[in-house]
Structure 1
């Protein structure tokens, strides 16, 4: 453990009574406080950093990087499947600043990208292609990282007494490993493994983490209105982009004392189900803009919570998808008309797969294709779904307690007022 990961500035400033004791204990343990300061500037940014934050990976422009460097932060430059900021941020190389606090990161890489492009070697190569000095680019992925986490006496360089995997490359401007040496042995040569990696055996506890007090049925997703009414105003999660949401208020019909999906108006249900602390606790809301025309889509790898999150055009398929995740002990599932159309098992804590990378990529691609067939327009619908529980992206999110307004940190219900 090297630090506390990604403490959001809104949480720190809005709820200091909850956040500061955790940050304080982390600092007392000699560990880093990793930051997330997207949207913060001036007084808010300074107050956030004053809590002991050491880094931020959210800048998307060179001037935002410069602002954070001047305030003493390490800045991570993202180049992965979710964010590709390196080209724009590379303008920082012309600002005359020291690069010792710049770090290259991926912030998430899809299996398909790992197979086609590679990992950090691709990112370092792109930094060089964007004009960074090759030695500086390599330093931003090695020594700077070790310095940040106070591990430079152990890793980050090639020297006596330090640990390092070694790459032998054709020249300093071409990050293409001819040999990879790990633990004193050649493990890869010219892009091919010459030594198979060890296979990890996961504990029973890590592969039995999906807990429900019972299997779900369609009625568990009913949105019941207590008062007699033919119509009622509701809060709806509105997909502004594939990741960003807003709060939309609409008047919807009440049928038989319940609010139902209206696929013709692109209003479907979304639910978060606790699978850990209070197994089976559910909050069901409404979402617009996901464009799912039929069936349901569920996943247990939701951001910032241990919830199962599910969206659906009908309640029965929502229950089927969640129950299948329980059977798999984690994963992503697409169900339509009472049948499982696609699935991707993630049995390790409900968030990791133990399949070979190629199979993972194929299963995710199958899910994407099915959801596209059912109307979902997003390039990565799995990411769009699992981030709906995350506190990192504005601004209306969901958890098993209700809808969460990230602007004020309050949890609210589906009915305003």
Structure 2
């Protein structure tokens, strides 16, 4: 995306028609998101750039390739405004295979899960991988890592000194996902990252769920430009009235579009021009069964948004919010040639996809072979945990027998956990989980070899009747998370992932029931999306066989270390009360028999 003087001269000449276009798309209906018009227009493409739109006969030379649009609508490539692609368990290469055929040609990401497990060295490898992919990544430097309060343990800590370096990288387009509490608490690293962004004229991306009133005002006074976290449409309205660009999130576990789009359809249609879309966290299963941003566009239209407006939300609105509209988001001269071929705007099924001036996908599949790069030891490192025993997952107390009143983190959605006080039995000095009361044990093990931390707490909502499950993919710090109602099975699950170098596993009655390998950083795989989707279905089915009726029991579990949404979470430093911003003792009271 850099432009040398000689490169600029070449592109200017191509725009003036002084040199022939490499490709010309004929016979299409241009969806002009800049003017909200649809009309017949041809498109001239030079290298990876749109050179001209409209009558482009003067741009055709003897070697120009002619592409017949066949009357289809020509739509700009779509932009996912906020995505942790790592949560899909797909590497960048595999993720591109899944989403590009559905029309997603760009994404905004901090690639922060890669950073947490492999630091800047691993990040550079992933950025090199991006350059060979049809999917563009506009990278925002994470405001800090980890995102947790109190600070959990990861492989690499992103701080204000790191920002002084990386914000000068050409790949850096802003500061990623600045969590409100870190601004509110005046965290030095966070404010240092924002201060550096002001120097470099980079936008600051937000993360402020449930922020209202004075807390929102203070957050905005730090210079945050946009937000992707709103739990109802009134929150969207307040944030937009106070000047924010808003991203409506529709992930595989948080279906916020139907509620949040009401800000546009019921409160004020004028908001539409500053609303865009993101998926945040998706699975291979969801992408292959529903689509990606194409599905979000269809959902918006179903909710009452006009097709042109929904397409603008998926394209130019996001580009403008992130200040990249000079590069992507529209089919205009000088922009990168990311173009979707669509038969019917109301059905919005992507027939063909061009990215970077090349036809890359047709009929929901890439039309060429895309191979993942060779992986270095930086991204294929082992889990540096000590092997566990049953005793590691037994909550020991000071009385030999009796009752313990405990605080169980009760899941009310993938990110929201509320307080639930439960009385559990104590036998042989151990507080026992209770399947009848739906109380399981959960533990997080530090897996980077830095301190050997282990935490243990109680949780509710999974309805496990037996066994255990574990994952080494667990944002925001990707430590090893283990949940279960049997300490022996919990130990077996943790040890198996340590032996295998990462993944997700379900154990019952002392046996490995199902395993999903994640060899790259313990968080992603280079397998084909279809293969990962099948593995996801099997691992979720195995988790449900333990008794859980949650839609995504494994995903709900691996979100437990996320502290950025009240009220409760657990990291390697212990269970966290995020309202008090501190760890807590889950045993509230003991009564000896």
Q: Same fold judged by TM-score > 0.5?
A: yes
- 1:277-356 equivalences under 5 Å are 278=450, 280-356=452-528
Q: Does 1:108 align with 2:281?
A: yes
Cα distance between partner residues in 2 of 1:126 and 1:249 = 39
SS at match of 1:376: coil
Q: Indicate which of 41, 46, 58 corresponds to 2:212.
A: 41
| Structure 1 partner of 2:259 | 88
1:297 CA drift (Å) = 0.5
Cα distance between partner residues in 1 of 2:516 and 2:566 = 28
The superposition leaves residues 302-334 of structure 1 with CA deviations (integer Å, 9 ceiling, x where unpaired) of 122221111112212111111221223221100
Conservation of the 8 A alpha-carbon contact between 2:415 and 2:562: no
Q: Does 1:182 align with 2:345?
A: no
1:110 CA drift (Å) = 2.3
Cα distance between partner residues in 2 of 1:97 and 1:3 = 26
Cα distance between partner residues in 1 of 2:479 and 2:275 = 34
1:21 CA drift (Å) = 3.0
| Structure 2 partner of 1:78 | 249
Cα distance between partner residues in 2 of 1:228 and 1:295 = 25
RMSD: 2.4
The superposition leaves residues 129-149 of structure 1 with CA deviations (integer Å, 9 ceiling, x where unpaired) of 433333332222222222222
| Structure 1 partner of 2:5 | none
Q: What runs of 5+ residues in structure 1 fail to find an aligned partner? A: none
| Structure 2 partner of 1:166 | 339
Structure label with greater radius of gyration = 2
SS at match of 2:498: helix
1:277 CA drift (Å) = 5.7
SS at match of 1:75: strand
The superposition leaves residues 360-393 of structure 1 with CA deviations (integer Å, 9 ceiling, x where unpaired) of 1111111221222221111110121011111233
Q: Does 1:153 align with 2:153?
A: no
1:395 CA drift (Å) = 1.2
1:31 CA drift (Å) = 3.2
| Structure 1 partner of 2:291 | 118
The superposition leaves residues 159-182 of structure 1 with CA deviations (integer Å, 9 ceiling, x where unpaired) of 333223211222444422232223
Cα distance between partner residues in 2 of 1:381 and 1:168 = 37
Conservation of the 8 A alpha-carbon contact between 1:14 and 1:409: no
Conservation of the 8 A alpha-carbon contact between 2:253 and 2:552: no
- How many pairs align? 416
| Structure 2 partner of 1:142 | 315
Q: Which moved more, 1:316-325 or 1:28-37?
A: 28-37
Q: Indicate which of 377, 380, 384 corresponds to 1:207.
A: 380
- 1:376-395 equivalences under 5 Å are 376-395=548-567
Call closer, same or farther: CA 1:358–1:137 in 2, change over 3 Å. Answer: same
The superposition leaves residues 272-293 of structure 1 with CA deviations (integer Å, 9 ceiling, x where unpaired) of 1111263532111122332111
Q: Does 1:265 align with 2:437?
A: yes
SS at match of 2:270: coil
The superposition leaves residues 161-207 of structure 1 with CA deviations (integer Å, 9 ceiling, x where unpaired) of 32232112224444222322233332223444432223333322112
| Structure 2 partner of 1:131 | 304
1:76 CA drift (Å) = 0.4
TM-score (norm 2): 0.65
Call closer, same or farther: CA 1:160–1:375 in 2, change over 3 Å. Answer: same
Conservation of the 8 A alpha-carbon contact between 1:14 and 1:408: no
| Structure 2 partner of 1:197 | 370
TM-score (norm 1): 0.91
Conservation of the 8 A alpha-carbon contact between 1:82 and 1:107: no
Conservation of the 8 A alpha-carbon contact between 1:276 and 1:306: no
- 1:204-283 equivalences under 5 Å are 204-208=377-381, 210-212=383-385, 214-226=386-398, 230-241=402-413, 243-276=415-448, 278=450, 280-283=452-455
